[in-house]
Amino acid sequence: MNEFEQKISRRPLRQIPAGWRAEILAAADVNRRKIREVTFAGTVASGLRRILWPNPQAWAGLAAVWILIFAVNFSMRDKSPAVAEKFSPPSPEMVAELKQQQRMFAELIGSRDVRDADRPKLFVPQPRSECAEFLTA
């Protein structure tokens, strides 16, 4: 310690008058509450404190359990690529070969009507008989 610190350490500590101490602490407490309530974080913290006050250890334990559940769930995720990502669309040669096989199969079973799988069926809406009766009545 240097010389100044030694002089200070030898001097007796004086007590703050009781009235001053209470007044200073009350003013500090009021300012602390105002500052905490003004900020958003302070508002959230005070709200959480009111909710969690009855048993904070139980709430902390519950939060720890949820964190553990999320960690286990995240670690056990399926990291294999999806089935749709594994397979590429068939090449034009493959499509042509499949159509050829379809024609050969149709010839073998004796059917001359060869359906083309790529051709969409046309749907032409027809009026229903119930609707026609309802409109004419």
Look at residue 67 in the predicted model and tell me its pLDDT. 96
Look at residue 119 in the predicted model and tell me its pLDDT. 60
Give the angle subtended at the CA of 36 by the CAs of 25 and 26, to the nearest 5°: 15
pLDDT digits (tens, 9 = 90+) for 12-23: 888 878 788 888
Cα-based distances in Å from 12 to 9, 18, 20, 45, 47: 8, 18, 19, 41, 45
Look at residue 91 in the predicted model and tell me its pLDDT. 87
Residue whose pair of structure tokens reads 């905490």 in the numeric block: 36
Residue partners of 102: CB distance under 8 A and separation at least 6: 114, 115, 117
Average pLDDT over residues 19-38: 79
Look at residue 106 in the predicted model and tell me its pLDDT. 87
Domain ranges (residues) in the chain: 13-74, 91-136
Look at residue 18 in the predicted model and tell me its pLDDT. 79
- More confident call, 137 vs 30: 30
pLDDT digits (tens, 9 = 90+) for 44-102: 877 877 877 778 788 889 999 999 999 999 988 877 666 656 667 788 899 999 999 99
Q: Counting Cβ atoms within 10 Å, is residue 106 exposed (0-12), middle (13-18) or buried (19+)?
A: middle
Look at residue 97 in the predicted model and tell me its pLDDT. 94
Helix, coil or strand: residue 72: helix
Residue-level length of the chain? 137
